[in-house]
Amino acid sequence: MTIAVVGEVLVDLVWSMGTTSIVPHPGGSPANVAIGLHRLDRQVTLLSCWGDDPPGELIDSYLTETGVPVRRLPSASRRSTIAHAYLNPSTGSATYDFLAAWDPTEIFVPEQTILLHTGSLAAVVEPGATPILKACRALRNRPGRAVSIDLNVRPAVLPNRDTYRTQIERLTREADIVKASDEDLAWLYPDCAPEDAARALLTLGPKLVVLTQGSSGASAMTAEHLVSLPAPRIQVADTIGAGDAFQAALLDALVQPDGSTQLPTTVTELTSVLHRCIAAGAITCTRYGARPPIREEINAFCLQRRDN
């Protein structure tokens, strides 16, 4: 049994503001999640497309180096996506702009997939967003399977808020697990508090919604429970890839020893999962670039927090 992650892989052109330094880094939220799962020793396949161009050569080399199993999807344009990441050196946070190309002509989800994850640009950028919706719907209708999405809102790729919200909500209806940040929900639902917006998403059909709130921590909610945990105090290098490491830890926690998926339903289960997700995100924030932790690092971090 495997986890399939479908979505963009791209090249971040990282510009540290106040300098003339621009450094290319391969990445992309779905790719980062797949790499995070691979580093947690999960069987995972990344389904993505990129171009036969200079950024594509960098992507190809990078994915080969990570060792993540990849199924390259056919692309209509054969162009790679480029992101301009503007890094604030004082806070470690980044803002983004995109030259996006997400146009797989077909999406083949492996037959043995028990958990399908997607999100970010791939969830809203057409023509690729519609095949993803169909793939999620098809897998969710099979017994014992689950679908996860990370909103990871990027207004630069679809500035019309109403259109973006429509795309997100139609995909949310096909998901079992939804992760969103407070910034995601503040942009999508500007007249609604993030926690209220998360609860509104829960009414669309997911069984679990996880809300991340940066240095304020994170919350996990089901129809019956709400669990909120604070974030640890850390020295932040940058925040690139932290949400993806959080997401990888969340998916990892859903896979059971027998190869099935099981969502946390009790307060104890939700608390345990959230602790590990927050740890994964925090560890990544202490490093430059999207470098998710391995299992032993998360275990040690959680143990240290418990002892303190």
3-state secondary structure of 285: helix
Residue 99's pLDDT is what?
77
Beta bridge partners of 117: 5, 148
CA atoms within 13 A on the CB side of 20: 0
Confidence band, pLDDT 50/70/90 cuts, at residue 307: low
Axis-axis angle for helices 242-254, 267-285 (nearest 10):
150
CB 153 within 8 A of CB 183: yes
Confidence band, pLDDT 50/70/90 cuts, at residue 290: confident
Q: Assess whether pLDDT exceeds 70 at residue 174.
A: yes
Instruction: Choose from 87-91, 181-185, 233-237 the range with maximum mean pLDDT.
Output: 181-185
Q: How confident is the prediction for the chain on average, in pLDDT?
A: 91
Confidence band, pLDDT 50/70/90 cuts, at residue 289: confident
Axis-axis angle for helices 242-254, 29-39 (nearest 10):
50
- Of 18-27, 104-113, 117-126, 290-299, the poorest mean pLDDT is in 18-27
Q: Assess whether pLDDT exceeds 70 at residue 308.
A: no
Give the model confidence (pLDDT) of 80-134 as tens digits. 988 877 777 766 677 777 778 899 988 989 999 999 999 999 999 999 999 999 9
> Encoding tokens for residue 179?
């992760």
Superfamily of domain 2-307: Ribokinase (3.40.1190.20)
Give the model confidence (pLDDT) of 35-64 as tens digits. 999 999 999 999 999 999 999 999 999 999
Q: Which residues contact 106 (CB under 8 A, 6 or more apart)?
A: 73, 74, 131
pTM of the prediction?
0.92
Residue ranges per structural domain of the chain? 2-307
Rounded CA gap, 188 and 192, in Å? 9
Q: Assess whether pLDDT exceeds 90 at residue 221.
A: yes
% residues pLDDT > 90 (the chain): 71
Alpha helices in 110-181 (DSSP H): 129-140, 161-172
- The predicted model gives 200-220 an average pLDDT of 96
- The predicted model gives 74-78 an average pLDDT of 91
Confidence band, pLDDT 50/70/90 cuts, at residue 9: very high
Q: Assess whether pLDDT exceeds 90 at residue 153.
A: yes
Give the model confidence (pLDDT) of 192-203 as tens digits. 999 999 999 999
Distance from CA of residue 57 to its chain's centroid? 23
The helix (H) or strand (E) run that includes residue 6 is strand 2-6
Residue 236's pLDDT is what?
86
Q: Assess whether pLDDT exceeds 90 at residue 16.
A: no
